[in-house]
Amino acid sequence: MASEAHASEGATGYIVHHLTPLSIGEGFWTLHLDTLFFSALLGGLFIWFFKVAAEKATVGVPGLMQNFAEMLVEFVDTQVKDSFHGKSNLIAPLALTVFCWVFLMNFMDLFPVDLMPNIGSVMGVEYLRVVPTTDLNATFAMSISVFILIIFYSIKIKGGWGFAKELMFQPFGPWLLPFNLLLKLVEEIAKPISLALRLFGNLYAGELIFILIALLPWYVQPFLSFPWAVFHILIITLQAFIFMVLTIVYLSMAHEDH
Amino acid sequence: MSINLTLIGQMITFTLLVWFTMKYVWPPLFDALEQRKKKIVDGLAAADQGNKQMELAGKKSKEILKDAKSQSAEIINMAQKRASEIVDESRVTAKVEGERLLTSAKSQIEQELQHTREKLSKEVSDLAIKAAEQILQEEIDKTKHQAILKKATAQLGKLK
């Protein structure tokens, strides 16, 4: 389905075009407008849906919308209760937001790869990458926010000294302090990095495969893109679920006092 | 693929989303769920209790029905007994009344008879005296047969 304009640049040009975000600015001061726009749009969709459901929430027989919202709330609540044993007003809503937002952003992957870029090019937008989770900035933004919460709760629950002690004296006791510190720091820093890279890697690879399929002759495409899309339904849900569960697990670890 | 300012923008978006969810989305939905759970639990308990009460009521109604049946049978028995009693009683009274009527009629008849007899005997004696007077006026001197007359009068008087 490569459009004429891109065909002239060849397969590489087509792929690169699809993976280039719409951006303004130079160097670090670059903003990926498409990532910001679509993530905000999907976040707004999520908020709107749940806000309407919450406003209409009744104790009696729930409507279709409330039922769906409650199903998700109950699902997230079960996950939180399974791994987190403290009391927190933040973790469950955070997990719900993470799950729904990540799922919606991943879901953009299931739209035909050329659909929105072509609409964009008609409207004069040169580059458009519609899946925010294929942008490292989006995944790292979430994982770093979670990381900040991990540090915040570690210090809040264990105290500054308690957290420092945990970093220095575990798991091998005070005689191996530098080693402990190194191990713990790597462990902590690995959390946000693995969270962000896992989601990014899965979605980026998925998107790339959709782009590669789109380069094949049109009569082959359905036989490849349909199974991949079906498989992708599983992947996008699973990745959203994993991100949510790991967020809960990391935060419950931060709450545990050794 | 580079980290840049987008990261900060995404973090702001994420924070806003989480804050909004925490403040306006989670509590009402979760409360509704919890309250409904409680309502369902209460409802089930109430239904159970209702069933039990219905069973009890069924038993009670059976008992009441049984009682009522036996009571009605008793009442019917009593009524039958009373009815036969009344019939017996009235038979007896009727008999007594009849006898009483009979005796009073008899005594009345007796009285009447006595009266008639008296009247009759008086009339007969008067007639006899009149007849005797007529005969005697023609044949007997009053003074001469005074003794006989007196005797006869005395005898008649005895007859009365």
Contacts A–B by Cβ distance under 8 A: 131
Q: What is the Cα–Cα distance from A41 to B105, expressed in whole angstroms? A: 127
Which chain B residue is nearest to residue A60, measuring alpha carbons? B36
Residue A199 has pLDDT above 60, yes or no: yes
Would an 8 Å CB–CB cutoff place A161 in contact with chain B? no
Residue B37 has pLDDT above 50, yes or no: yes
Q: Select the more confidently predicted residue: A27 or A240.
A: A240
Residue B131 has pLDDT above 80, yes or no: yes
Q: What is the Cα–Cα distance from A197 to A136, expressed in whole angstroms? A: 8
Would an 8 Å CB–CB cutoff place A16 in contact with chain B? no
CB contact under 8 A, B10 and A74: no
Length of chain A (residues): 258
Instruction: Give the SS3 label for residue A23.
Output: strand
According to the model, what pLDDT value does residue B142 have?
Answer: 63
Query: Cβ neighbours of residue A51 under 8 Å, at least 6 residues apart?
Result: B20, B24, B25
Residue A9 has pLDDT above 70, yes or no: no
Q: Select the more confidently predicted residue: A171 or B88.
A: B88
The rounded mean pLDDT for chain A is: 87
Q: What mean pLDDT comes out for the span A194-214?
A: 92
CB contact under 8 A, A138 and B6: yes
Which chain A residue is nearest to residue B18, measuring alpha carbons? A94
Q: What mean pLDDT comes out for the span B66-90?
A: 95
Q: What mean pLDDT comes out for the span B106-112?
A: 93
Matching residue, tokens 């039990």: B52
Q: Which of A25, A50, A51 is nearest to A36 (CA)?
A: A25
Cis check: omega of the bond before A171, within 30 degrees of 0 = yes
CB contact under 8 A, B32 and A51: no
According to the model, what pLDDT value does residue A113 have?
Answer: 84
According to the model, what pLDDT value does residue A169 have?
Answer: 82
Q: What mean pLDDT comes out for the span B25-34?
A: 89
A8 φ, ψ (degrees, to nearest 5): -65, -30
Which token pair is B102? 């009979």
| Chain A residues lying within 8 Å of B3, measured CB to CB | 28, 136-137, 140
Q: Select the more confidently predicted residue: A201 or A12.
A: A201
Least confident of A8-17, A136-145, A183-192, A228-237: A8-17
Question: What is the extent of the structural domain holding A175?
Answer: 4-255
pLDDT band (50, 70, 90) for residue A192? very high
Residue A5 has pLDDT above 70, yes or no: no
- Any idea which residues of A carry the catalytic annotation? 194, 198, 202
Single-letter amino acid, residue A207:
E
Domain ranges of chain B: 6-159
pTM score of the predicted model: 0.72
Q: Select the more confidently predicted residue: B3 or B11.
A: B11
Q: What is the Cα–Cα distance from A113 to A221, expressed in whole angstroms? A: 12
CB contact under 8 A, A144 and B7: yes
CA angle B19, A79, A152 (to 5 degrees): 45
State how many domains chain A has.
Answer: 1
Q: What is the Cα–Cα distance from A92 to A85, expressed in whole angstroms? A: 12
Q: Which of B28, B86, B26 is nearest to A98 (CA)?
A: B26
* B25 DSSP assignment: I
Q: Which of A43, A54, A74 sits opposite B28 (nearest CB)?
A: A54
pLDDT band (50, 70, 90) for residue A3? very low
Q: What is the Cα–Cα distance from A73 to A78, expressed in whole angstroms? A: 9
According to the model, what pLDDT value does residue A2 have?
Answer: 40
Q: Smallest CA–CA separation between B47 and chain A, in Å?
A: 17
Dihedral angle computed from the Cα positions of residues B115, B121, B123 and B125, in that order, rounded to the nearest 10 degrees:
-150
Q: Smallest CA–CA separation between A149 and chain B, in Å?
A: 11
| Chain A residues lying within 8 Å of B40, measured CB to CB | none
Residue B125 has pLDDT above 80, yes or no: yes
* A contact residues 83-112, partner B, Cβ 8 Å cutoff: 89-90, 92-94, 96-97, 101
According to the model, what pLDDT value does residue B92 have?
Answer: 94
Q: Select the more confidently predicted residue: B146 or B85.
A: B85
Residue A180 has pLDDT above 50, yes or no: yes
